[in-house]
Amino acid sequence: MADRMLQFVSVHQHQPDKRSASDRRQDFGEIYRDFSVPQARTQASRCSQCGVPFCQVHCPVGNNIPDWLKLTAEGRLEEAYELSSATNNFPEICGRICPQDRLCEGNCVIEKGFDSVTIGAVERFITDNAWNEGWVRPVRPSRERSASVGIIGAGPGGLAAAEQLRKQGYQVHVYDRYDRVGGLMIYGIPGFKLEKEIVLRRHALLEQGAIRFHLGRGVGAVDSDMAIAFSTLRARHDAILIATGVYKSRALGGPGSGLPGLVKALDYLTVSNRRSLGDAVPEFDSGRLDARGKNVVVIGGGDTAMDCVRTAVRQGARSVKCLYRRDRANMPGSLREVKNAEEEGVEFVWLAAPEAFLGANAVTGVRAVRMKLGLPDASGRQSVDPVENSGFTLDADLVIKALGFDPEELPTLWGEPALEVSRWGTLKVGHTSFMTSLPGVFGAGDIVRGASLVVWAIRDGRDAAEQMHRWLEREGAAQRVAEAAE
Ligand code: FAD
Ligand code: SF4
Ligand code: SF4
């Protein structure tokens, strides 16, 4: 067994085994199998322990990758876990769903000609193993403060901040309009990438650490039909974090775009995830959001589109096509996920965009046109233009729109015109303070940066928590409370 590093010359890269495509089409279980202890140790030993580890530089949470790889190779798995969890609240989740090819692994400079270290898979192994061994424990702050913080949104940004603030001894309350914790990790991302149990066990752990969750509690304006007014929360807590994500689906126009059979990606995925969690879901039972036996066309080329096509395959669709206006090299989604989708039987129609949706009472087809890539614009991204007389038709009884998400208009929705937002509707926060235009109100995750990644939400949540703690200290809330608690 490996206990030395720099083994990349003799040990080849080996990602965890994948279930066969025919097998994984049958269910929503994760597609990658677990590393065994010897596999994880051997793969970790390939790291060449770079003096300047570019893997770490390109990891949004700045994970101390070379050190935990070395500890893993040496079999010091509990220490590897301690180190890995010191910088990341949910390492086993990032190990599963970070686009490693664009982040840590894509920047692994092991040696020219050798494949990168399997960083994500080792990170996942370290924490899964720690759960099995009983090393993952709830937060136990060394001192209690009576100052309280209110966190709006139980996605990765809000949860990471909640855990960090609880470590400081604050009384932490998390409010979410959903009935479960996890945000897009529970209702957006399908189980074949991230099994629901992984998120549920994190929820249970946070609760054991005395973080209080108020679920089914949407936050809104005083006179709205939401459960709690934003102003009530401000009065109730010493500081507030807004981590509500981005949920407004980008619209798709054109003739026939109002036909039944055209659905929003997140509606489709949420219903499928709820079924995986065992909920009764009438929208699925009615057939509207069920792909079984249908010709499905998904429009878009990001992670959401990839999740939709692969969900449709698992629901037993007759055919599944992904229509994207650029080509494979220029798509925003992870190429690893495209490969997985192709293996599972999805057909990609590159360089094509919808023009119209056909059908009398419900959609029966998509009229599309071929596109060509043009010159790069100011941002360096190539323009896309339609090719004349290139129209074609695809059969479709279910069209899923996966064109991305924008923020909801929080100042209007919450009756807080003083809450400043950017021209894209994202929350404006101080670059280093993470504070919004309202004193004591902070922001983190997608609602600040726009649709992004789980790992960036975690990073923001950690940074915002640090700034909230400093602010509470400056305001005297932290100290005052400490005296009261003594
Ligand atoms: P969210 O996860 O969106 O959580 C926000 C929470 O706030 C939700 O629980 C919501 O219910 C709650 N909320 C919103 N408004 C209110 C309100 N008014 N009152 C109370 N609660 C409210 N990222 C990856 O890294 N890898 C992937 O593979 C990946 N796949 C994705 C697949 C899909 C289909 C989607 C949609 C996204 C994917 N992402 C992926 C992106 C990732 O999920 C997000 O970037 C991340 O979840 C953002 O975290 P967040 O905490 O900012 O917000
Ligand atoms: Fe790589 Fe993501 Fe883990 Fe960082 S958190 S090491 S980017 S998988
Ligand atoms: Fe190891 Fe690759 Fe990171 Fe270098 S870049 S420290 S080889 S994982």
pLDDT digits (tens, 9 = 90+) for 104-116: 999 998 766 678 9
Measured in angstroms, how far is the CA atom of residue 124 from the centroid of ligand 2? Answer: 10
Band (483; pLDDT cuts 50, 70, 90): low
Read off the pLDDT of each residue in 5-25 and give the average, rounded to a whole number: 87
Instruction: Please compute the mean of the pLDDT values over residues 315-320 and round it to a whole number.
Output: 98
Other beta carbons within 10 Å of 406: 16
The closest-lying atom of ligand 3 relative to the alpha carbon of residue 66 is 6
Nearest residue (CA) to ligand 1, atom 23: 453
Strands (E), 361-462: 365-376, 382-386, 392-395, 398-401, 405-406, 441-443
Residue 419 has pLDDT above 70, yes or no: yes
Tell me the average pLDDT across 350-376.
Answer: 95
Q: Which of 56, 93, 104, 125 to mutate to test the pocket of ligand 2 (most atoms within 8 A of CB)?
A: 104
Q: Check if 95 has its Cβ closer than 6 Å to any atom of ligand 2.
A: yes
Residue 485 has pLDDT above 50, yes or no: no
User: 159 C-alpha vs ligand 2 centroid, how far in Å?
Assistant: 18
Ligand 2 mean position, distance from CA 104 (Å):
6
Cα–Cα distances in angstroms (integers) from residue 39 to residues 46, 117, 130, in the given order? 11, 12, 16
Domains of the chain plus CATH, in order, are 7-133 (1.10.1060.10), 148-246+407-485 (3.50.50.60), 252-403 (3.50.50.60)
Give the residue-averaged pLDDT of 386-400: 96
pLDDT in tens, 442-468: 999 999 999 999 999 999 999 999 999
Instruction: With a cut of 50, say whether residue 232 has pLDDT above it.
Output: yes
* Average model confidence (pLDDT) across the chain: 93
Q: Which two tokens mark 111?
A: 């040696």
The answer to whether residue 320 scores a pLDDT higher than 70 is yes
* Pocket of ligand 1 from Cβ distances under 6 Å: 97-98, 152-158, 175-178, 183-185, 188-189, 193, 218-220, 243-245, 269, 303-304, 307, 445-446, 452-455, 457
Q: Which residues pair with 296 in a beta bridge?
A: 320, 398
For residue 65 and ligand 2, the question of a CB distance below 6 A is answered with yes
The answer to whether residue 378 scores a pLDDT higher than 80 is: no
What value does the mean pLDDT take over residues 353-376?
95
Q: What is the pLDDT of residue 86?
A: 98
Q: How far is the CA of 322 from the centre of ligand 2 (A)?
A: 28
- Cα→Cα distances 396→283, 318, 367, Å: 19, 10, 10
Using 50, 70 and 90 to split pLDDT, how confident is the model at 484? very low
> Does the beta carbon of 331 sit less than 6 angstroms from any atom of ligand 3?
no
Q: What is the pLDDT of residue 471?
A: 97
**Tokens of residue 291, six digits:** 């792909």
Helices marked H in 315-358: 335-343
State whether the beta carbon of 458 lies less than 6 angstroms from ligand 2.
Answer: no
pLDDT, tens only, 286-309: 889 999 999 999 999 999 999 999
Residue 243's pLDDT band (cuts 50, 70, 90) = very high
Ligand 3, atom 1: nearest CA belongs to which residue? 47
Between residues 285 and 232, which one has the greater pLDDT? 232
pLDDT digits (tens, 9 = 90+) for 192-229: 999 999 999 999 999 999 999 999 999 998 877 778 99
Which residues are paired to 321 by β-bridges? 297, 347
CB of residue 100 inside a 6 A radius of ligand 3:
no
pTM given for the model? 0.95
Q: Is the pLDDT of residue 54 over 80?
A: yes
Query: Ligand 3, closest atom to CA 47?
Result: 1
What is the number of the ligand 1 atom nearest to the C-alpha of 447? 52
Closest ligand to C-alpha of residue 464 is 1
Q: Give residue 430's pLDDT band: very low, low, confident or very high (50, 70, 90).
A: very high
Q: What is the mean pLDDT of residues 403-431?
A: 94
Residue 119 CB–ligand 3 contact under 6 Å: yes
Alpha-carbon gap, residue 203 to 158, rounded angstroms = 12
**Alpha carbons 143 and 93: distance in angstroms, whole number:** 29
247 vs 331, residue with greater confidence: 247
* CB-ligand 3 contact for 110 (6 Å cutoff): yes
Q: What pLDDT, on the 0 to 100 scale, is given for residue 335?
A: 85
Question: Is there an atom of ligand 3 within 6 Å of 55 CB?
Answer: yes
User: Among 56-60, 284-288, 344-348, which is the least confidently predicted range?
Assistant: 284-288
Minimal-distance CA residue to ligand 3 atom 2:
108
435, pLDDT greater than 50? yes
- The reported pLDDT for the residue numbered 353 is 96
CA-to-CA separations, 244 to 12, 190, 222, 408, in angstroms, rounded: 42, 20, 18, 9
Please check the confidence at residue 350 and state whether its pLDDT lies above 70. yes
Give 167's contacts (C-beta < 8 A, 6+ positions apart).
139, 141
- 297 SS3 class: strand
Residue nearest to atom 5 of ligand 2 (CA): 94
Give residue 184 CA to ligand 1 midpoint distance, Å.
Answer: 4
Question: Does the pLDDT of residue 139 top 80, yes or no?
Answer: yes
Residue 486 reports pLDDT greater than 70: no
Lowest mean per-residue pLDDT among 22-31, 248-257, 320-329? 248-257
